Structures are given as structure tokens and as C-alpha cells.
Structure 1
Amino acid sequence: MKTVLSRLHPASAFVYLAGILIMAALNRHPWMTCTQLLCLGGIYLYYERRPGKILPFIGIILLSAVLNGVFVQRGNTAAVTAAGRTVTAEALLYGGNAGILLVNVLFLFSLWNRCFRQEHWVYLFGSAFPKLGVILSMAMNLIPKYRKQAEKFSNVRKELYKESAVRRAAAVCSMELTWAFESSMDQLDSMNARGYGTVKRSHFHLFQFGKRDGCFMAAAVLLFLINLYGFWKFYAHFYFYPEVRWGGFDLKDFCFVLCMGIQILLPLLFWEGGKKLCIR
């Protein structure tokens, strides 16, 4: 999938990723959030290759469910009663669903950072909004850049000193802050010297909008509109409080769940033999 998205025109890849982000942020219905979790989680596991990488995200979901159940006293179905407090099933389900929504967004941004590089942001926004293009490209690259640098600092400390994990983490945090300020000042001076943001910039790129890009963008927009209609018509008014009311899983739900899965896994339809795009 990363190969497919990296080979696409930046506009097509951006439309695909933005459509998934909008649906992930809007949907609260468990059918949709769980479908997004399975598809995006499968993509994340495919790239990480280690099942243990998924454990922190499971912890986020469980922690969200427990905290919401403990602190929110809403709902009609009592699940647990302890120390004079009643934990309702609705509060647990709502917290778990909110945790799933958060994890879906994290999975999506992980995919976004893998396939949408800095030159894509500069290409999309650099000509019309040069300052915005530079800011977006720097912001999206900020966390992965700092994380890699922190790993380097941590590995060096492990080799040089025998110390506890807490002491090492504090030292790495201090080194990371110092490095971040110094690198920011160096980058600012470099950008000022090259005239960033002063005049209209020209840039060189190798992106060309072809037939496969148009087909991919059209399919992504169509699936997004179908899922947006399903959300507006059927899933926008799902409530957890005062009680969860399930209408059953019928043909309508199956169709929209299928459309949601296809929207997320759309690049796989443009994949052939693991090497080439089937639409040229």
C-alpha cells in the first residue's frame, strides 16, 4: 500500500487520506469504528511486522473504557458496583468506542507519515501558499524526526553509561530539548538566508497527473461520498446514553461496512503482484 500511495500523484493520495480522516473523525457508530480499526490496524501490523507493536493501542482502548466507566455516571445498565459507585455498561462502551476512534486516527497518521513525504506537502501548497506549505511539511515531519533522534541518544547512553531507565529517560529528554532548540535555530537561519516566505517561490517536481491518478481519485471521492451519505442518513444519530439501542445488522449495514472497508483498502485494488499498479 505504501508503494501504491507513494507512486500516486500527491493530490490523489491527499484526497484518499483526507477522506479517511474525515470519516474517522465523524463516525461514532460501533460498526464503522470497528471496521476502521480492523482495516487500519491490519495496515499498521503489515508494516511493523511485530504483533507486540499493537499492544500500546489496545492499552489505550482499555484505559479509555475504564476511565470513562469510573468517572462518568451515566447509563441505565449497571455493570459493576463497588465502593458506592456504579459503573454502567453504557459508560464502558462509550469509553471503549472513544478509545477506538483515537487509535484509528493514530493508525491513519502513521500511514500518512509513511507515504506522504515532505515534497508532497510543498508541491500541494507551496505554489499557492508558500508559507503554509513549508509549515505543514515541517510539522508533519517533526514528531518522526524527534523520535528517531531520541532513539539515537538513548542508544548512545546505553553504551556509555550503566544507569536506570528513569535516569536515562530524563537525560535523553534534556538532550532532546537542547537538540530541538539548536536545530530549530539552525533551520530558521538557513531558511531566512534562502529567502523562504519573502517572494513567490518556484519549485521543481516530477509529479504528473495520469490516468491511474484520476481513476484512484474518482474512486476515493465516490466511496467517501457514499460513506458520508450513510453517516448522515443512518449512523449520525447513534447514542450510548441513556442506553444502547442496537437495530441489528442488516443488509444496509453490510453494504456501508463493505464500502468503508473498500475506502480504506482502496490502494490494494491498484496493486498487482506486489510490484506494479494494475491501472496505468
Structure 2
Amino acid sequence: MRSEHQKDDTVLSFYHPVLLLSYYCLVLLTTMFTDNPLVRGISFLGAMCACWLVLEKDLFYKNIKLGSLMVFVATLSNFLFVHRGATILYILKFRLFEKNYRYLFTLESIVYGASFGLMMFAMLLWFQSLNKVLTTEKVTFLFGRLLPKLALVLSMVMRFLPMYQSQMRTIQQAQEGLGQSFSGSVKEKATKGTLVLGSLFSWALENAIETSDSMNARGFGMKGRTNFSIFKWRGRDMSFLFILFLAGCGISYSMLHQSFKFTYYSHLRFLQENQLTSMVGYGFISITFLMPILVEVKEWLRWKFLQSKI
């Protein structure tokens, strides 16, 4: 059941599972295989909007902190250990074991590290949004007929991990209610943590047996067993499919014509061959990555329009 602190479903989550899987594959592949910092920045902005719509506030800010740390570590490590680039910010000279050493710290290394960290940050947010939008029922619908065992494993993982986390918090709260505080020395914390893990493991085994019995009772694995599905193609799905297909073709065409090509070393510069093709490509990129917030705004405007007609 949905917890009281969990957000309601967004408009994007009501689209057909095939469209959702196709959309997230498109944004993830585009983010991973593009070095352009502008594309990565638009992807990050779209991922932020998608996560803001589907995640609880605490989880959203937790991901923001984790992603910010990833960007900082990537930027700092690349700045310290990669000494390429023409824009020199600082020169470190020192002598060690009768040898002179000279290291260059450049602007290009900072920008490359920040761009790589931003890409990882965007991927983290996209996967968080995907985990919320593509529920276990949708995963089973997508892969249940072609790969039933894979669909079962994926749906169980997506269901059990949050459930185990919730059960662990319940066990901890029960232990604290009995006066078993988790403060103290490292040895005491480890001992009490072991008790919690033992209780969780016992509960997991019992739950696995109940799940297995339930699956056998419902005829899982039997020949001729049919699957019930509530996912049907609607008019809005056809519109979304047309926009997604058009955007995918536009992005593919732009990437084949090097419209997003960017170099970090030795100078920061865009290397696109055709300015018009590049601008069209960025337009398709913006529409694709900002699709979650665009469909939300469209539905909000439609709702306001219908209210005005009452």
C-alpha cells in the first residue's frame, strides 16, 4: 500500500509501460553517450524535474546531497590527477629525491570533471525516477511473456528491497521501544546491529516461503496460464509515441552529424559542423529531457481549462 508520505502518481506514470521504458532508455543512452556539457546540463535539469514530481521530499533531498558529493569528488579528483589543458590556473613545482617535478592545474580538467560528475548525477536521478514510475506490475507486463523468469526476478527485487528497508526500520523501532538503544561503543552497535540483521533474515526466509506457496497456489509456471493486464493503448499514448519517435529520430540524426560534439582538451570548444542542425538537435534534446514536466504542465492547463468551463 502507498504510505501517507508518498507522492501521488504523476501524469507520466499513467502512460503505457512500453512508452515509459522507451522514454527512459532514450534519455539514459543519450546522457551516457554524449560528452557535451550542455546536453548533460539539460539532462540534469530534466532529471531534477522528474524526481521532484515522483519522489518524497526527504528522499529527493537525500539524492541531491549524494549527487552533489559525486560532482564534487569527480571535479576535485580530475583537477588533482589530470594535468591536461591550455588554460593554466596554477603550477605546482617541487623537488623530490633529487628530481624536479612540475604539475599543471588547468581549467579544462575542472570542467571535464564537473561535466562527468554532472552526468553521473543525472543518471542517478533518472534511475530514481525510473524506479518510481516503472512499477513491478509494469515490469511484469513488459517482460512477463518473453522472459517470465527475468520479469519475476526484477519485480521481486524492486518490491523486496524497499520492503526489507521498511522491515528493518520496524525492527529497530521495536528494539528501541524495549530499551535497546543503538548508541554506545562500536562493539555494542555491531552486536545490536547483528541482532537486527538476524531478525530481518528470519523474517525474509518466512516471507520467501509464503511467497513461494502463494505462487504455486496461483499456478505460476503451469502451461496455458494466462496473464491479466490493465494496460491498454489510449489516444494520449499515440500522441506520446509520435513525439517520442520524432524526438528520437531528431536526436539520432543530430548525433550522426556531430551536432553535439565538444572537446575539453586542449581548449574548451564546440565542434558542430552545422549551426542549424545543432540548434534543432538541442531543441529535440530539451523537449525529450523535459518531457515529465511538460506533460505535467499540459495536464494542469487542461484541468484549469475544464474548470473554467464549469
Q: Under a length normalisation based on structure 1, what TM-score does the superposition of the two structures give?
A: 0.80
Contact 1:126 1:201 in 2 (8 A): no
Shift of 1:207: 1.4
* Residue 300 (structure 2) pairs with residue 273 (structure 1): yes
- How many correspondences in the alignment? 278
Task: Pick which of 23-32 and 225-234 moved more.
Answer: 225-234
Mind listing any 5+ residue stretches in structure 1 that lack a counterpart?
none
Question: Which of 36, 44, 49 is the matching residue for 1:42?
Answer: 49
Q: Which amino acid aligns with 1:162?
A: S
In structure 2, do the counterparts of structure 1 residues 74 and 138 end up closer, same or farther at CA, with 3 Å as the change threshold? farther
* Segment drifting more, 261-270 vs 92-101: 261-270
Establish whether residue 90 from structure 1 lines up as the match of residue 108 from structure 2.
yes
| CA positional deviation for 1:89 | 2.5
2:254 maps to which residue?
230
Runs (4 or more) in structure 1 with deviation over 6 Å come to none
Q: Is the 8 A contact 1:12 1:214 kept in 2?
A: no
Distance change in 2, residues 1:179/1:128 (3 Å): same
Q: Which residue of 2 aligns with 1:263?
A: 288
- Seen in structure 2, the aligned counterparts of structure 1 residues 178 and 230 have a Cα distance that, compared at 3 Å, is same
Give 5+ residue unaligned stretches, structure 2. 1-7, 95-100, 306-310
Q: Kindly indicate whether residue 18 of structure 2 is the aligned counterpart of residue 18 of structure 1.
A: no
Aligned pair in 2 of structure 1 residues 120, 89: CA closer, same or farther (>3 Å)? same
The alpha-carbon deviation at position 9 of structure 1 amounts to 1.7
**TM-superposed deviation, 1:224:** 1.7
Equivalent residue letter for 2:283:
L
Letter in 2 for 1:119: E
Alpha carbons 1:60, 1:99 under 8 Å: kept: yes
Q: CA deviation at 1:148?
A: 3.5
Alignment correspondent of 1:63: 73
**CA RMSD after TM alignment:** 3.6
Partner of 1:124: 142
**How far 1:22 sits from its partner (Å)?**
1.7
- CA offsets 1:48-82 (integer angstroms, 9 cap, x no match): 44684423211211111112222334334333444
Q: In structure 2, do the counterparts of structure 1 residues 148 and 255 end up closer, same or farther at CA, with 3 Å as the change threshold?
A: farther
Cα contact 2:182–2:192 (8 A) shared by 1: no
The 1:45/1:246 distance shift into structure 2, 3 A limit, reads same
Identity between Structure 1 and Structure 2 (%): 25
User: What residue in structure 2 maps to residue 134 of structure 1?
Assistant: 152
Listed as ranges, the matches of 1:239-254 within 5 Å are 239-246=263-270, 252-254=277-279
Task: Answer with 1 or 2: which has the greater Rg.
Answer: 2
Q: Give 1:102-113 correspondences, 5 Å limit.
A: 102-113=120-131
Q: Is the 8 A contact 2:140 2:155 kept in 1?
A: yes
Report the TM-score when normalising by structure 2.
0.73
